[in-house]
Chain A
Amino acid sequence: MAIAELRQQLIRGEVSAREVTQDQLDRIAAVDSTLHAFLDVTAERALADAERIDKARMAGEELPPLAGVPLGIKDNLCTKGIRTTCSSKMLENFVPPYESTVTNRLWKAGAVLLGKTNLDEFAMGSSTETSAFGPTSNPWDITRVPGGSSGGSAAAVASGECIAAMGSDTGGSIRQPASFCGVVGLKPTYGRVSRWGLVAFASSLDQIGPFTSCVADAAELMNVIAGHDSNDSTSLTAPVPDYCEKLREPLAGVRIGLIKECFQQEGLNSEVKESVLAAADSLRSLGAELIEVGCPRFNDGIATYYVIAPSEASANLARYDGVKYGFRSEGAESLLSMTSRSRAEGFGSEVQRRILIGTYALSAGYVDAYYKKAQQVRTLIRRDFDSAFEQVDVLLTPTSPTTAFQTGAHLDDPLAMYLADLLTIPANLAGLPAISLPCGFDSAGLPIGLQLISNVLDESRLLQVAYQYEQTANVMANKPDGKFIP
């Protein structure tokens, strides 16, 4: 059920918030032992919150915009009084004494917390397999990964465990799992949504965004979470439009750019390519103009990202030392051994790998060759986009070169895993908003995702194009067919 429809039903009294929440909790109880999308389910609180919404409605109060909308929240967003683990042993028992700005806005808007969703440890991964608490399965085929790092949120929305969910995207962690799970995932402009309370992975790249089952719901959620926050120095002050307003505007005259370099990728699966190009054709039939554009540095994104993101991460994760909170190794004899053993035992191997890469890239003698060089390439990538947006309004690419891969397929090959983010990373490096939405299925019945990228702060355009496509393509009518889950 879409958020707007739920709101109407609630207002008309056709359904109660409690019933909606209970249905979701029942759904979670039925399928989550198979999927493992949730790390913690906050049933008691969810029902109490829903009942409060029902009481307010019965008392004749005007309902807030997200009244009774049950949400899954990625477990790297701090929730006051509720364990926030980042899927790491390091934070297994960490209970934040404060609430993230995004979740705070969501609760104020009447949304209901169903629970915290699984992720790759500290959001480092593309398959949700690096979670210290076990992987999440793809609802379309449980032998496959849901993507990552926000795999729990994507799987939860795809399987109907929640109406919508929140994720974070540093190099594709919303869009790639959205693509693998056949849902909508939006990464807003860097700075559009406050990062206060998001456990940092790579601060200059991290953005929070929604997972939804339709484009309109993404717009509804953006209306609540976007906006300036004085607790985040990188938060933008630009006014926030009504993201629902432009959805229904026709596409006539909209210029859509196909990034040449993306479609020439060797690793690009041919079924994915065909499906995405077919989607581009339907956009043309809707009145949009298709233009081929070049982004010569696009494919350098991945190398650039894997220097910048680990560099920032190596500093961001230095605070986990066993002194103040989080995991502390027992029996250490000295300060040095307490710190090093706590980190060796508390972090998983992928997190350790990235800390090592980042520490190396920032070390004296290497910082110029790696970190500074990567920052220069980042500027070049941003310039490529700048010149592309002189010609077009929106860029179109596949979200991921492939559909969901088998669990374990890339676990021993980090480079292959990193390539899953090849097409999503450049938008993070340039701070641009981007959306992934389903555009078809491969021969194995797995969803294929289409990525749209717009200029900074042009989320409305992104949502408009996505919405117009969605209305005609009718891809969303397909649901996981119950082959693996009821």
Chain B
Amino acid sequence: MPATIAEWEAVIGLETHVQLGTESKIFTGASTSFGDNPNTHIDPVVCGLPGTLPVLNKKVLEYAVKAALALNLNIAEHSKFDRKQYFYPDLPKNYQISQFDQPIAEEGWIDVEVAEKGKDTYVKKIGIERLHMEEDAGKLVHAGSDRLAGSTYSLVDYNRAGVALAEIVSKPDLRTGREAAEYASEIRRIMRYLGVSDGNMQEGSLRCDVNISVRRGPKAPFGTKVEIKNMNSFSAIQKACEYEISRQIKAYESGEPVIQETRLWDEGKQLTKSMRSKEGSSDYRYFPDPDLGPIEVTEELREAWRNELPELPAAKRIRYVEELSLSSYDARVLTDELSMASYFEDVVKAGAAAKLASNWITGDIAAYVNANKLNFTELPFSPKDLAEMIKLISSGKISGKIAKEILPELLKAGGSPEKIIDERGLGMISDPSTLSDMVDELMVDYPKEVEAFRGGKKKLQGFFVGQLMKITSGKADPKLANQILLKKLLG
């Protein structure tokens, strides 16, 4: 038998920078507000003025530890800050305060659900190497041209400098672009659940760098690693990985070398291009920052923070499927945003059937929330009222059609569905004798149709239902009405 050549396999790891959403910066009281005029959120510490000193913002430590706990990382009782040295004008001190050999947390994992159209959904455990705290850099704005290449000078904006970052480094456990995108998306979801970051990729509060190589099968040694930057959506991460995988395979198959380098994802052209080669690794001359003392997290503090963690998306997904019998698709949609999941859970708690609650929430209500750029917590229509509406439908007091009619005003202004229905007389007519009388009248009014029905034109049942709905403005209980009609028509 001829030896078969193993299939190509990609090996992908992600470095994710998450801006921690504290009000003030990691080492000083300056605001972290985004999108304001350049250099309006700076102070002597941010600018690295001579004689200034950093003091760790305690909230940053709390957020970082909570993020690490949610990623199942081990929290170091003692860790420290180091100086990472390199010259660049967006770095006011020309060193970045970061953590080098003693990060705040190491060795964790998350379960990532990988769903792709036309393929089976699966859950994969992705290892996480470490999480560390560091300060963000400022931004350069190149002027005199709209591109760096032609610019005649550069301006620097330090508003972002000193904003707290958690850098999360995955293990090289990802194998496809889709897995990479799902992993990043799960990291973002977890951070948002914790409330430690808004994870806004457009504003740069979540940034992912991809390390990617390909090899001949799972037993082969790693190929040459390429770093990809500049992806600002999950789909860009997926596409960049997919592009890069096929680029590297093609290179190997045509005998061209893959060089260790940093490449940029070009969203417009949908391809990666070489930014700089990274043959020798940079020497950042790390050493412990003498201005900052050791970082101590006692077991007591760590456990107190652990107790404050919310139920995380992966646990919710499992619970929704196992305890509430939802489909994994519904569970995934509902748990994407904590506010939606909480809304859903409150509706179920108020007595509504989970499946019906899920349908309403992921359907019309989510559409309304998205269209109006709202958050579920801002919705005037309370979970209790939605539960009431669902119960009115289940108990037969109103039809789904009526519910849909009153939904827009409930979404806008809230209120009790039952009260609205009672006030407007929108309740279903489900009294058999009332319906029976109505049917009798109809049969008197339409003798020819009765005759035709009895002669075999069974389709005319629909005509009578229509007439009944017309008379009752759609309030007749459709099930009961059909039963009575059929019985009477058949004579």
Q: Are A and B genuine complex partners? A: yes
Which residues of chain A are within 8 angstroms of B290 by Cβ–Cβ distance?
A: 202-204, 234, 312
Whether A335 and B95, one on each chain, are in contact in the complex, defined by CB atoms closer than 8 angstroms, is no
Docked pose: A145 CA to B225 CA in angstroms: 59
Cβ contact within 8 Å between A362 and B287: yes
A482 to chain B, nearest CB (A): 38
Q: Check B50–A96 contact: CB distance below 8 A.
A: yes
Chain A residues, Cβ within 8 Å of B55 = 230-233
- The answer to whether B156 touches A78, judged by C-beta atoms less than 8 angstroms apart, is no
Q: Are B48 and A324 in contact (CB under 8 A)?
A: yes
Main SS class of interface, B = loop
B54: A residues at CB distance < 8 A: 233
Among the stretches A192-200, A257-265, A435-443, A456-464, the one at the interface with B is A192-200
Instruction: Considering the complex, give the chain A residue whose CB is closest to the CB of B87.
Output: A339
For the complex, is A319 an interface residue (Cβ under 8 Å from B)? yes
Contact check, A359 vs B89: say whether CB atoms are below 8 A apart. no
User: Which residues of B sit under 8 angstroms from A200, Cβ to Cβ?
Assistant: 50-51, 291
B contacts with A, residue count (CB < 8 A): 29
Point out the residue from B51, B83, B283 that lies within 8 Å of A78, measured CB to CB.
B51
Q: Which of A197, A204, A323, A362 touches B285 (beta carbons < 8 Å)?
A: A362
For residues 83 through 107 of chain B, which have their beta carbon under 8 Å from a beta carbon of chain A? 83, 85, 87, 89, 92-95
A319 near B53 (CB under 8 angstroms)?
no
Q: Is the beta-carbon distance between A315 and B293 smaller than 8 angstroms?
A: no
Determine whether the beta carbon of B287 is less than 8 Å from that of A364: no
**Which residues does chain B contribute within 8 Å of A318, judged by CB atoms?**
85, 87, 93-95
Beta-carbon contacts under 8 Å, B36-61 to A: 44, 47-56
CA distance in complex: A230, B56 (Å): 10
A231-B55, A232-B53, A233-B54 known; A321 vs B89 contact (CB < 8 Å): yes
- Give the most central of A84, A318, A339: most B CB within 10 Å: A318
Does the CB pair A323–B156 fall under 8 Å? yes
What is the size, in residues, of chain A's interface with B at 8 Å between Cβ atoms? 43
Q: In the assembled complex, which residues on chain A have CB atoms less than 8 Å from the CB atom of B287?
A: 311-312, 315, 362, 367, 371
CA distance A98 to B47 in the complex (A): 13
* Contact of B283 with A98 in the complex, beta carbons under 8 Å: no
**B443 on the A face (CB < 8 A):** no
A96 touches B89 (CB 8 A): no
* Contact assessment for A198 and B51 in the assembled complex, using a CB-CB cutoff below 8 Å: yes
Q: How far is the CA of A175 from the CA of B49 in the complex (A)?
A: 28
In contact, A195 and B53 (Cβ under 8 angstroms)? yes
A97 at interface by CB-CB < 8 Å: yes
Complex Cα distance, B56 from A231, in Å, reads 10
Residues of the B chain whose Cβ atoms lie less than 8 Å from the Cβ of A94: 50
Q: Is the CB of A233 within 8 A of B293?
A: yes
Is there a chain A Cβ closer than 8 Å to B486's Cβ?
no
Contacts of B293 in A (CB 8 A): 233-234
Query: B216-239 vs A: 1/0 string, CB under 8 Å?
Result: 000000000000000000000000
* B residues near A196, Cβ cutoff 8 Å: 51-53
Question: A315–B95 contact, CB under 8 A?
Answer: yes
Residue A86, interface by CB 8 Å: yes
Q: What residues of chain A lie closer than 8 Å to B49, measured between beta carbons?
A: 96-98, 324-325
Q: Is B87 a contact of A233 with CB atoms below 8 Å?
A: no
**What is the chain A residue whose CB lies nearest that of B140?**
A335
B291→A233 contact, CB < 8 A = yes
Docked-complex contact B83 and A315, CB < 8 angstroms: yes
Residue-wise interface mask of A (309-337) relative to B, using a CB-CB cutoff of 8 A (1 in contact, 0 not): 00110110011010111000000000100
Please pick, from A100, A233, A359, the residue contacting B56 in the complex, using a CB distance under 8 A. A233
CA distance A86 to B49 in the complex (A): 13
**In chain B, residues 199-224, which have Cβ atoms closer than 8 Å to a Cβ of chain A?**
none
With both chains docked as a complex, state the minimum distance between the C-beta of A9 and any C-beta of chain B, in angstroms: 35
Q: Which residues of B contact A362 (CB under 8 A)?
A: 85, 285-287
Within 8 A of B (CB), among A229-276: 230-234
CA of A154 to CA of B54 in the docked complex: distance in angstroms? 31
Q: Are B51 and A319 neighbours in the complex by a CB distance under 8 Å? A: no
Q: Specify which of A195, A197, A335, A363 is in contact with B89 (CB 8 Å cutoff).
A: A335
Q: For B48, what are the chain A residues with a Cβ–Cβ distance below 8 Å?
A: 319, 324
Q: Which residues of B contact A41 (CB under 8 A)?
A: none
Known A318-B94, A364-B283; judge A97-B44 contact (CB<8 A): yes
The B-contacting residues of A in range 376-393, CB under 8 angstroms, are none
A: which residues have CB within 8 A of B?
76-78, 84, 86, 91, 94, 96-98, 100, 195-200, 202-204, 230-234, 311-312, 314-315, 318-319, 321, 323-325, 335, 339, 359, 362-364, 367, 371
4 tightest A-B contacts by CB? A318-B94, A204-B290, A203-B290, A362-B285
A-B contact pairs, 21 of them (CB 8 A): A78-B50, A94-B50, A96-B44, A96-B50, A100-B51, A199-B50, A199-B51, A200-B51, A200-B291, A232-B53, A234-B292, A312-B290, A315-B285, A318-B87, A319-B48, A321-B89, A323-B89, A324-B92, A335-B154, A363-B283, A364-B285
Additional 13 contacts, C-beta under 8 A, given A98-B44, A233-B53, A315-B93? A91-B50, A98-B51, A197-B52, A202-B290, A231-B55, A233-B291, A234-B292, A315-B95, A318-B85, A318-B95, A321-B87, A362-B287, A367-B285
